[in-house]
Structure 1
């Protein structure tokens, strides 16, 4: 099981659409961390930006219409917008700017009736490894209209992801094995087998990509973002980053503080945490989220199909499935394992709107039907109906491990597995096991620079009290690290906040449009 900093995009967007009270039926069935630190730039004071007329075309990008292709990709029709695709060439290694290049793929979403255009809004959904193209393409479904009509929304697939020099290390069968593997292997032999699975995966990446493997880092991507800004013709960048995208935005702001116009960092990653500390924070966060899910289920009384004690029900399911995996139905050739169940539970806890789906999936597998578990697990791991996968797991592993300052040893992972099992009964051991990927990683490490964004205008950092993946405590830490951060709190559940609820939506949208930040420490109610 791989726990990411961001959920699969379809879960993410369905959650936002549901929270906004819109129809999500069109999405059904969709499958689809130093180099030298720059010197501080002169201090600037943020002023509201004057709108600029929309040019016939932006900057240096050769855009082509790709609406039909993007609609096929996201599985829904897009009305009232123009959809264009383009690319920008960037050095594989920014330390060697005249060397070999990567092509970074982008999409631009423009309202057909755009008014008082401000510039581009660059978006990133996190991961690392999630597609910014897919997120941008779905922004007409959830971004407020006043934001959509003032900006070109631009999404890019970061290097190693999707359409941008994608990392592809493992065949589908190997990814199936990693997903199905016991998330808490107690016998040493079983643990060692999983070490071998991860080592095989890591060596496959090293063999295929060799010297370029160390170029898939957060700092390199942050520098790519500045090349994108320049190619778009924007003097300064407006940016919306979710989850891992907050780290990417913070690194950019540190490197290029004077080029920040307005940055929203939603679902904060603490840039000073190593992989062990971050994973333990997630273990605690998911335990809390499951407790909240269980309490909500109990409050429904007879309306909850898994009874008044969801944790006990799930515990019993895991025991039964560990003894005997549950065969698939309707042509599904796999049998659901504890790995699938834990992946499914993890996926649903990212988005509160998926809690009823999780209730049904647990109830159904207890009765012998694993369809719901497979649906949640497959969506989370990027497996589509024909058994193929997208490359998010490959990219997540390569980027995360390249960024890692102090990767753990295999012996440390084994020790943490035991310790965290006691502290976090459901998610502790599985989260410890995910550390194996970087424990055996053979690539070079390129940790991202950490520091303030001295000279940048106010940057808004949004935190959700019930966020399991990027715990709320990260919010103030990231804001303080940036130095110009303004904290906005949402008292809700799930991973990330904008644009859910009027308070969040109005304050963040106004900041994106005018650059006037919300009051610091603004607290928005859950509903």
Structure 2
């Protein structure tokens, strides 16, 4: 996800770009729904309860009962502890979906598409076909919704109408009045999350989710965790390796986040990433026919900024009863930068705004980003989970002078997009739970080789972050995709596909520094 204004940190699922490119919105599977067949985990997948923390043995040793929920998928519900520090605190539910290995099975491959707050179930349903054929032959591919996310026991904050208003709000953060209004809005959101979620809200940190993955590994019958994580999912995978280095099997982390940087550095890096991606789009647009942007690339960047500024002064009308605020216009522009296949949609949206003064396509794109349905409901709780997880993992300073200094530095580096990445400290200033205390070594000493993939012009997770993660991990191996867009595996080229598939299936570690 993007860090825009009240959103304090980064990233978004690669399934977003893949779905947008073909104008599809993924829907999830309701685990446990009536189906044709119910069966336990099956031969060779009996639970492996060794390694369970004291008091949590029953979670590690539980049987996973799969139910057919789509023609090509099976779903299951498993129990997880509410708190990994207190086995008596109660239970939550985690929802899983899988495709069975079509050939000789190595084990299970857990996948996470990012966010934080992205649904692994939605990812698997939308993007299972983008996985390499040999991977699908060799693994039961298991998507899961992490704690707090969507079809698992979820974080809840506002109702749909109030959430719609919250996601559309504009504020002039350069003024004291605007800062105060934004702070009050964030505080009200935090209060609603606490009231409607309860104690789960303090237990959705990445470290707890990584412990869930070890429990899932055991319940699925694997001695080691094999894992494919994108975007924020790289943080989840690296956290797992740090907590359980001796159980880390074949881990692939695509579109990585440098674990050594703080929230302010993330916001600045991502602002520059989106600025660079927008420049690439503008140059490509102006090199072709019918581009709504004229003049030089710098001229085109300024025209995009003008669209954003006009949305603040005079929100764009649409073909319905809603208008496009500046915040919605930003989401509508940014979402297309995750994949160059979506650039034509950005051209359409800008053409409408510049030449017709309307924002219907911008609104469609913003709604897509926010998982908002046409009827005003929301398909997922990605916004709620995003905030809740980040506020336990990272905090930016909420000191006004510090925020203004950081915002000015960001805007200097990213003059077109940077104003949407400052003041992240507002988001968690009133959060009712403290930061989670880290229990692991960032270097994951003793872990097997971990493949880290970076894309050179990735807007959401800039390439330098992948370099940083590979450097931070003792066993990190960096693979580079030279190209545009967010993440690489499943959307780039055969070089990336072969390197990942050979590693996951054969255990062949790619050459450190491989460039595709």
- Normalised by the shorter chain, which TM-score bucket? 0.7 to 0.9
Pairwise CA distance, 1:3? 7.8
Report matched runs for 1:218-367 at 5 Å.
218-300=206-288, 302-308=289-295, 309-329=299-319, 332-366=320-354, 367=356
Shift of 1:251: 0.6
Write the mapping of 1:136-215 to structure 2, written as runs, cut at 5 A: 136-182=124-170, 184-215=172-203
**1:44-100: per-residue Cα shift (whole Å, max 9, x none)?**
xxxxxxxxxx83866420111111xxxxxxxxxx6xx3x111122111111112431
Report if the CA contact (8 A) 1:184-1:430 is conserved: no
1:478 aligned to which of 469, 479, 482: 469
Give the secondary-structure state (helix, strand or coil) at the position aligned to 1:473: helix
Are the structure 2 counterparts of residues 465 and 299 from structure 1 closer, same or farther at C-alpha, using a change threshold of 3 Å? same
Q: Per-residue CA shift, 1:355-385, capped at 9, x if unaligned?
A: 1111111111221331210111111112111
Question: Which region of structure 1 is more displaced relative to structure 2, 404-413 or 255-264?
Answer: 404-413
Paired residues of 1:119 and 1:152 also in contact (CA < 8 A): yes
Name which of structure 1's ranges 317-326 and 157-166 shifts more when overlaid on structure 2: 317-326
Find the partner of 2:513 among 512, 518, 521.
Answer: 521
CA contact (8 A) 2:118 2:145 kept: yes
Note if contact 1:267-1:475 (Cα within 8 Å) is conserved in structure 2.
yes
Q: How far, CA to CA, are the matches of 1:476 and 1:201 in structure 2?
A: 35
Deviation of the 1:243 alpha carbon = 0.6
Cα drift, residue 123 of structure 1? 0.1
* Whole-angstrom CA distance in 1 between matches of 2:465 and 2:122: 26
Q: Per-residue deviation at 1:29?
A: 5.8
C-alpha contact 2:111 2:143 (8 A) present in aligned 1: yes
Please tell me whether the aligned partners of residues 13 and 230 of structure 2 are also in contact (alpha carbons under 8 angstroms).
no
Which residue in the other structure is 1:74 paired with? none
1:83-162 equivalences under 5 Å are: 83-110=73-100, 114-162=102-150
Asked if the contact 1:122–1:154 (Cα under 8 Å) also holds between the matched residues in 2, the reply is: yes
The equivalent residue for 1:370 is: 359
In structure 1, the residue matched to 2:383 is 393
- RMSD, aligned α-carbons: 2.2
8 Å contact 1:304–1:359 — kept in the other structure?
A: yes
1:125, 1:245 within 8 Å by CA — same for their partners in 2? Answer: yes
Give the match's secondary structure for 1:92: strand
1:407 Cα deviation after fit: 4.6
The Cα of 1:184 is off from its aligned counterpart by 4.9
> Secondary structure, in 3 states, of the residue corresponding to 2:86?
coil
Within 5 A, what are the aligned runs for 1:36-115?
55=43, 59=47, 60-67=63-70, 81=72, 83-110=73-100, 114-115=102-103
- Counterpart Cα distance in 2 of 1:29 and 1:398: 23
Q: CA deviation at 1:166?
A: 0.5
After TM superposition, the runs of 4+ consecutive aligned structure 1 residues lying more than 6 A away are none
Task: Note the C-alpha offset of 1:13.
Answer: 2.4
Cα separation, 2, equivalents of 1:406 and 1:431: 12
Paired with 1:184 and 1:131, the residues of 2 have a C-alpha distance of 33
Query: What SS does the corresponding residue of 1:445 show, helix, strand or coil?
Result: coil
CA deviations 1:32-54 (Å, max 9, x no partner) are: 8xxxxxxxxxxxxxxxxxxxxx8
Deviation at 1:153, TM superposition (A): 0.7
Look up the match of 1:51. none
Corresponding residue number in structure 2 for 1:40: none
State whether residues 397 and 403 of structure 2, in contact with CA within 8 Å, keep that contact through their aligned partners in structure 1.
Answer: no
Moved more, 451-460 or 480-489: 451-460
- Alpha-carbon shift at residue 211 of structure 1 (Å): 3.9
Match of 2:38 in 1: none
Contact 1:271 1:450 in 2 (8 A): no
How far the C-alpha of 1:493 sits from its partner, in A, is: 0.7
Deviation at 1:410, TM superposition (A): 4.6
- C-alpha contact (below 8 Å) 1:31/1:385 kept by paired residues: no
Deviates most, 415-424 or 86-95 = 415-424
Name the SS for the 1:161 alignment partner: coil
> Is 1:444–2:404 an aligned residue pair?
no
1:12 maps onto 2:17 in alignment:
yes
Question: What whole-Å deviation, never above 9, does each CA across 1:414-434 have from its counterpart, x for those lacking one?
Answer: 443344333321222211134
- Output the TM-score relative to the length of structure 2: 0.87
Cα distance in 2 for partners of 1:353, 1:3 equals 28
1:31 offset after TM fit, Å?
7.2
Q: Deviations over 1:222-278 (max 9, x none)?
A: 000000000101111110000110010001011111112200000111112211111
Q: 2:447 aligns with which of 456, 471, 477?
A: 456
The Cα of 1:214 is off from its aligned counterpart by 1.6
Give the distance between the partners of 2:396 and 2:421, measured in 1 at CA. Answer: 17
- Tell me if the contact between 1:7 and 1:380 (Cα under 8 Å) persists in the aligned partners: no
TM superposition shift of 1:387: 0.8
Moved more, 417-426 or 240-249: 417-426
Q: Which residue of 2 aligns with 1:75?
A: none
Unmatched tracts of structure 1, length 5 or more: 19-23, 33-53, 68-77
Rounded to whole Å, the distance in 2 between the matches of 1:57 and 1:159 is 23
1:440 deviation in Å? 2.9
Q: Which moved more, 1:186-195 or 1:469-478?
A: 186-195
* CA distance, structure 2, for counterparts of residue 313 and residue 346 of structure 1: 15
> Shift of the alpha carbon at 1:174?
3.0
What's the CA shift for 1:140? 2.8
